[in-house]
Amino acid sequence: LYVRDPGSSRKREERQPEQILDTTHFKVVMNGSQVFKHAVVRFMEVINEALSANGIKKEEIDLLVPHQANLRISQFIQQKMELPDSKVYNNIMRYGNTTAASIPIAMSEAWAEGKLKENDVICLAAFGSGFTWASALIRW
């Protein structure tokens, strides 16, 4: 994911209307299939790493709250982990990708909906800009 010609990379200069309308400049470019592949591999790695480090099996996860970047990524991870719908929280269909706020929003909604109970094992997993990734396990 990159911007071919970001405005901050050059000195300030006036742009002509035809330059602004030229779609080869100032647009975000992304190789979606590569991002998808990278995301699902890294999601699984960080989730498995957190589970292993804490001596927890995937079957012990009460709720997976993934970063809400892409429903297909969440569904792929759910399938790989063999988790039922009841153990995965998604709200991307309501809000889209809310970037860094996606997990806190999802956690707040899951709590309000009664999906988080005392002593539940909650797995948070995120993948974001700069190809960063992380996970956390929380005993609620």
- What pLDDT, on a 0 to 100 scale, did the predictor assign at position 92? 96
Q: 72 in a domain, yes or no? A: yes
Report the run of H or E that residue 135 belongs to, with start and end. strand 132-139
For residue 97, the enclosing domain spans 37-139
Q: Has residue 124 been placed in a domain?
A: yes
Query: How far is 7 from 22, CA to CA, in rounded Å?
Result: 14
Chain position carrying tokens 């470019």: 29
**Considering the domain boundaries, does residue 67 fall inside one?**
yes
- What is the pLDDT at residue 10? 59
* Confidence (pLDDT) at 9: 60
Whether 91 and 74 have beta carbons less than 8 Å apart is answered as no
Q: How many domains does the chain have?
A: 1
- Residue whose entry in the numeric block shows the structure tokens 């209307």: 17
Residue 9 domain-assigned (yes or no): no
What pLDDT, on the 0 to 100 scale, is given for residue 24?
67
What does the block give as tokens for 101? 């706020």
pLDDT at 36: 87
pLDDT of residue 21: 74
Q: Which residues of the chain have pLDDT under 50?
A: none
Has residue 101 been placed in a domain? yes
**Residue 119: which CATH number?**
3.40.47.10
